[in-house]
Chains A and B, each alone.
Chain A
Amino acid sequence: MISLTAPASLSMLDLTFASTPLALPFLATLAIVVPAVLAASLRSRARETLLLAVFAATLAAVLFARSVFAFMLAWELMALVSAMLVGAHFERRYVRRALLSYAIVSQIGALCILAALALLGAHAGAFTFDAIARAAPSVPAPLRVTIALLALVGFGSKAGLVPMHFWLPSAHPAAPATASALLSGVMLAVAVYGLALVGLTLAQPLPAWFGIALALVGGLGGAIGALYASLQSDIKRILAYSSIENTGIAIGALGLAFAAQAFGLTSIAALAMLALFFHVIAHGAFKSLLFLGAGSIVRAAGTSDLEHLGGLMRTLRFSAPFVLVGCAAAAALPVTCGFAAEWLIVRGFVHALTSGTPALAVAAAVTIAALALASGLAFATFAKFFGIGMLGQRRSDHVAQPERFDHVTVALAWLSAIVVLIGIAPELVMQQLGAAVQAVTGVQADLGTLPHVARIAALAPVLGLLATAWVARSRSIAHQPTWTCGSPVTRRSQYTATAFSQPIARIFAVAMPSAREPAIAFARSVAAFAQRTARRTRVVQGGRLRVYLAYAVLGALVVFWLAR
C-alpha cells in the first residue's frame, strides 16, 4: 500500500493506492492485453507507443486507487490520455467530431463519479475507500439511491452501456488499432470495475430493485448492441458495437450480483461475480485480438469497409487464422474463452431462475432471452466479419501486399493462445478468480461442469480434422468454377455485407424507427440545444472590462453574504 496523507483539514486530498481482490481480474486483463498492444505498436511512431504505455499505467492506477482523490486523479488522467489516443489523427474531421463527443461524455461522466464519491466521503467523514466502505451500511436510503444512479451514469457512460453508448462507435474506431484494443479491451472493463467498486464495497448494499433493473438494462443493452453490430459494414464499427454488447453482458452479470447480494443469495452473487470476472478477461483478450487483427486488415487492404474487402486468406496468411479465432470467440463459440464466459454468465441467471425469489426469477428469464438473442446476433455479425471480410474474392481493385511475419503476428499469436487456452481449460484462471470472488462475496464459486464441457466441445475440431483427412483421401479431387446458373463467376457474383444483414435489418425495423440510432439522434438534439443555449447566454460575456468588474463585485458580495 502506498499512501500520501494530506493534513487533517485537507483529508480529501489523501492519496492512497493498494491492490484489492476486486481489482485483480481487471489487472490480469491489463497484463494480458498490454504486452500484445505494445508489441504491435512497435511499428508505429515512438510517441504513440509512449502514449499507450502511459495509458496502460493510468488504467492500472485507477485499479489500484484506494482514496477519492487518487481515484479521480487516475480516472481523469486516463480520460485525458485516452482522448489523446482517440484524437491521434486530429487532421481528419470525423476524428475531431468523435473526440469532441467523447470528451464531453467523458467529462460529464467524471463529474457524476466525483459527485457520487464526494457524497460518500462527506457521509463517512473521510476520503479513503476503506473508511468509506466501513461507513457504507449507515448511508441513508435516499442518498444511497442517488449515489447509485450517479455512479451508473458516470461509469455506465464510460463503459458504453446502452443508451449512453452513442459516442463509442465513432470514438473507438477513430483511434489507431492498438489504442482501440486498449480502449475496448480494457478501459470499458475498468468502467465496469468502477461500478462494481461502488456497488459492492463503497455504497453496499444497493437496493434489490437497482440490481434487477441493472441486470435487465445490461441484458437488453447487450442485445441492442449486438443488433447494431450486425448491421454495420465497417469492421472497426462492428467491433465497437460488439464492445457495447459485451459491456451490456458484463453489467447484466454485475446487476445480478447486486440483486443477489440484496436478497441475501450470496452463492448466486458469487456465481455472477465469477462469470463477470471471467467475461472481463475473455472479452479483453478476444476484443484486443480482433482490433489488432483489424489493424492488420486495414494495413494490408487499405480500407476497413467490408464492401471492399474479401479474399484476404492468402495475403494475410499469418493473421487470418488468428482473426478467425477472435471471430469465433466473439460469437461465443466453443474452444474459445467466449464460450466459457457465455456459459458462466447464463449459469448465474439460471440459478437466479430457481432462487425462489419471483422478481429475480422473472428478470432472469428476460435476461437469459436477451443474452441468447445477443449471442445469436453476434453469430451473424462475426460470420459476416470473417466470411465477407476475409473469405471469397477481393471486392475492389486494390492489390493487397502479402504480410510478413513480424511483431504484430507475435502479438496476435499471444492473444489467440490465451483465447484458446482459457477456452479449453477455463480452470487455469480459476484459482485466482476464485480467491477474488471469495474476498468480494464471502462465498466460494466453482466452475461447475464447465471444464468438462469445454473439453468435450474441443473434440469438435479434432473430430473435424479427422473427417477432413478422410475427405482428402477421396478417389479424385477435381476443380470446377462455382455454380452461378451459368453466369460468369466474378467478384460481383459474391454476396455483399449489406445484403448479408438485410434480413436482420428488415426484421428488426419495427424496433428501429429510423436508420439513425435513436440514442445518437437524441444526443445530437441535446448537443444542438446546448449550443443554442450557449449562444444565447453569450451576452453575459460582453467583452467589456466594466461588466466583468461588476460581476466580480457582485460575486464578492454574494460570498460575503454567504459567509456572514
Chain B
Amino acid sequence: MIAHLAQIAVLLAVAPLLQGVIKSLRARLQGRPGPSPLQPYRDLRKLARKGIVLPHEVSLVFLAAPGLYAGSALVLAYLVPTIGSRAPLDAIAIALVLAFGRFALVLAALDARSSFEGMAASREATFAALGEAPLVLALVSTVLPGATSLGALFTAAAIFIVNLSEMARIPIDNQETHYELTMIHEGLALEYSGRHLALVQYAAAVRQAALLVLAAMLLPGSGGSTFAWFCALVLATAIVERTFAKLRLFEVPSLFALATLLAFFGIAVRLTGVNLW
C-alpha cells in the first residue's frame, strides 16, 4: 500500500517533467536545443498565478470540466498497479476513468459555442470510440499467462498506438500546432485560461505518464526492466514525433484498426502459448 502511494506521488510529481523530456528529446533529434525539460513546471506556475477569462454565458459544465478532468487523472494514477507487484490490471476501470475526464472536456468544448471546439470535440469523441477496443483488449490480455511471450510485444505495440492518440501526439494529433483547424486535444481547451488551463495541462501530463507506465508494465520483465522499457517508450514517442508527419484525419482509423489487430494477436498468441524466449 505504501509502495503504491509512493508510486502515485512520484507519478504525479514527475508527470510534467515527462512532457518536458519528450519535448526536449524531440528538439534534440531535430537538431535544435529546444526548451528545458523543466519548462512545463514553469508554465504551470505561470498559469496558476494568472486570472481567468471565460466566454460569455457558459454553463456550470464549462466551469467544472477542467477540475473533473484533473480529478479523473488522479484516479487514473491510483488505478495503475504498483510496479513489480502482481496486482491485476483493472482494464475496464482504466478505460472508463479515462472516458470520464474526456466526457467533461468534450461537453465543455460543446458549451463554448464555437465551431473550432465543436470540431475538436467531434474528433476527440470519434478517436476515443475507436481507441477503446484496442485499449481494453490490450489491458485485458494481461489476465492470460505468457507475460514473456511474443504476445506481450503485440499487446504493448497496440497500447503504444492508443497512447499516441491519448497523449495527443503525432501522427494522430499535434500538441505544437497553432492552427485551430488541426487541433484535437488543444482545440478542446481553446477557451480555457489561467488555472483552468493549468488543470487541463497538468491532467493531460498525468494521463500520459500513467499510460506510458501501463505500457511499460505490459512488456516482459518487472522492476528494473520495467523502468528500462519506460525510458525506451519515452524515447520511442520522441522518435515517432520526429520521424512521422501527421496523418490525414481519415487515415487515422487504419492506425486504430492496426492496434485492434495487434491486441487480438496478443491475445491469440497468449492463448496458444508461443514463447519468445
Chain A residues within CB distance 8 Å of chain B = 230, 313-314, 324, 328, 331-335, 339, 342-343, 346-347, 350, 353-354, 358, 361-362, 365, 368-373, 375-377, 379-380, 383-384, 386-388, 391-393, 449, 453, 456-457, 459-468, 470-472, 474-485, 489, 491, 493-496, 499-504, 506-507
Contacts and interface: CB of A to CB of B under 8 A. Distances in A.
B114 A484 contact: yes
A320 B168 CA distance: 31
A372 B115 contact: no
B205 to A, nearest CB: 15
Contacts of B113: 392-393, 482, 489, 491, 493-494
By DSSP majority rule, is chain B's interface helix, strand, loop, or mixed? helix
Interface range, B side: 35 or more
B74 A463 contact: yes
B140 A464 contact: no
A324 B54 CA distance: 22
Given A333-B100, A334-B72, A368-B140, 20 more contacts: A313-B61, A346-B140, A350-B91, A358-B271, A370-B133, A373-B132, A375-B99, A376-B128, A376-B130, A383-B125, A387-B106, A387-B110, A464-B72, A467-B71, A475-B51, A479-B54, A493-B114, A494-B110, A495-B121, A506-B250
B96 A375 contact: yes
Given A474-B194, A484-B115, A372 B135 contact: yes
B3 interface: no
Given A347-B92, A468-B63, A482-B191, A460 B140 contact: no
Contacts, number: 274
A501 B253 CA distance: 15
B72 A460 contact: yes
A491 B109 CA distance: 15
Contacts of A502: 122
Interface of B: 49-57, 59-64, 66-72, 74-75, 78-79, 90-93, 95-97, 99-104, 106-107, 109-119, 121-123, 125-126, 128-133, 135-137, 140, 143-144, 180, 190-191, 194-196, 199, 249-250, 253, 260, 263-264, 267-268, 271
Given A372-B136, A460-B97, A478 B106 contact: no
A490 to B, nearest CB: 9
A331 B103 contact: yes
Contacts of B109: 387
A474 B193 CA distance: 11
A494 B118 contact: yes
Nearest to A485: B180
A353 B120 CA distance: 36
A105 B268 CA distance: 40
28 contacts: A332-B96, A350-B91, A353-B143, A353-B267, A362-B271, A368-B137, A369-B260, A372-B95, A372-B137, A376-B129, A376-B133, A391-B111, A456-B78, A457-B75, A457-B97, A463-B75, A464-B104, A472-B63, A475-B50, A478-B53, A479-B55, A483-B114, A484-B115, A493-B113, A494-B113, A495-B119, A500-B118, A507-B130
